[in-house]
Structures are given as C-alpha cells and as structure tokens.
Amino acid sequence: MRLFTSIELPSDIRRAISWWMPPLAEEEWVRRGWFPDDEGIKLKWVAEETLHITLKFFGEVAEDRVAELCDSLKKIATEGPALLWPGPTNCFPNRGPVATVVLEVQGQVDRLERLYEALEAKGRQLGIPQDRRPFHPHITVGRARPVLPQYVRAGLSGKTMKTQHQFIATEFVLMQSLLKPQGPQYIPLARFPL
C-alpha cells in the first residue's frame, strides 16, 4: 500500500485555492506573452477534494504492517493543535525546470516540523527509508508533465491569496494513495490527534 501522512484542509480553503490558482496562472502567462499551447506550458491542477498539507511520505508499506505503523503513530507526543494558513506560491524543485507548483504553509509550522521529525523516527524504527529532501510544509496545487521551462518560475512564484484563510489543524491523517489515470485518490486509514 502506498502511504503518506497529511493535514487535511477545510473544504472552504480547498475551494478557495482551486478557484484562485488556475486563473492566476493564466493571467500571468498572458501578461508575459506566453502561449501555453504553442510552448507546451501546461499544468495539471490538483483536484479540489485532494488538496492537503503533505507531511511524511512512507511509500510502499505491506498491508500486514499497516496496523503496526498505526500503533507506532499513536505513540507520537504532539504539541497540540496548530494555527496554519496557505502562504505564497512556490515552484519545486527550487532550481531549474518546474515540476510542481505549491503553496507554502505558514503559521505554526514549527509544530509541523517537529511532528515530521517524529514521523521520520517512527518510520526508521519500522525500516521505512528516510526522505532524501528536507521537510518543506506545502500544499501541492499543480503538477507539470513534462516539466515546465525554468522561465515559467518567475510568473508562478510569490503570489498570495488576497484573503488569509486560517484554520486550526487538530489532527494528522494516515492516507492511502491510489494512483489512477484520472489522478490520485486518497483514502484516510487512520486519524491521530495533535
């Protein structure tokens, strides 16, 4: 089973993000004189119902080990709920062609960072490989296939929503990711209080 942990977003925030991002990108492309169909500048926007804050990606975990993983995650001592909100847009990776467009996460992200370290430690105990990249709390909003040229980064980075959409995260979720042709489907397997 392909598993990861995340913080779910309230439905009003998911809706606001999904309404705001695609028109913003199109306006930037037009303003800069880019023609997506001619130059292959295309993004696949993440479906509204699947927008979330990514925590730890565990990857493939045998189904008979999921209960053990859940028991381990229950033992994480958290610091309580966290006040969070979507921040400015950014592009991953940090240099070169653009593969992913994200919203940074702002607020009490230090709590998320410590939660991530605890998730990494629990994963290591179960033989799950560590992430190769440092933790960077974000909401993935668009994926480029193939990658976009590097110059697109300037038009997609540093944009912020006019209204600050704050929320209090009270739990994190162990999710199963099913990869389908129309896009990933996420199934909550267990919830853990913050």
The CATH number of the domain holding residue 166 is 3.90.1140.10
Token output for 116: 């991530």
Mention every residue, 6+ apart, whose C-beta is less than 8 A from residue 130. 120, 123, 124
Mind spelling out the 3-state secondary structure of the chain? CEEEEEEECCHHHHHHHHHHHHHHHHHHHHHCCCCHHHHCCCCEECCHHHCEEEEEEEEECCHHHHHHHHHHHHCCCCCCCEEEEEEEEEEECCCCCEEEEEEEEEECHHHHHHHHHHHHHHHHHCCCCCCCCCCCCEEEEEEEEEEECHHHHHHHCCCCCCCCCCEEECEEEEEEEECCCCCCEEEEEEEEEC
Q: Which of 24-38, 41-55, 99-113, 124-138 has the highest mean pLDDT?
A: 99-113
- The arithmetic mean of pLDDT across residues 178-190, rounded, is 88
Beta strands 138-148 and 98-107: pairing type?
antiparallel
Q: Is the pLDDT of residue 32 over 60?
A: yes
Domain limits at 16? 2-193
Structurally, the chain folds into a number of domains equal to: 1
* Mean predicted lDDT score pLDDT of the chain: 89
From CA 20, how far away is CA 189, in angstroms rounded? 30
pLDDT tens for each residue of 141-156? 998 878 888 888 888 8
Q: 55-59, 62-66, 112-116, 183-187: which has the minimum mean pLDDT?
A: 183-187
Q: Is the pLDDT of residue 37 over 70?
A: no
pLDDT tens for each residue of 50-79? 999 999 999 999 999 999 999 999 999 999
What pLDDT does residue 118 have? 96
- pTM of this prediction? 0.89
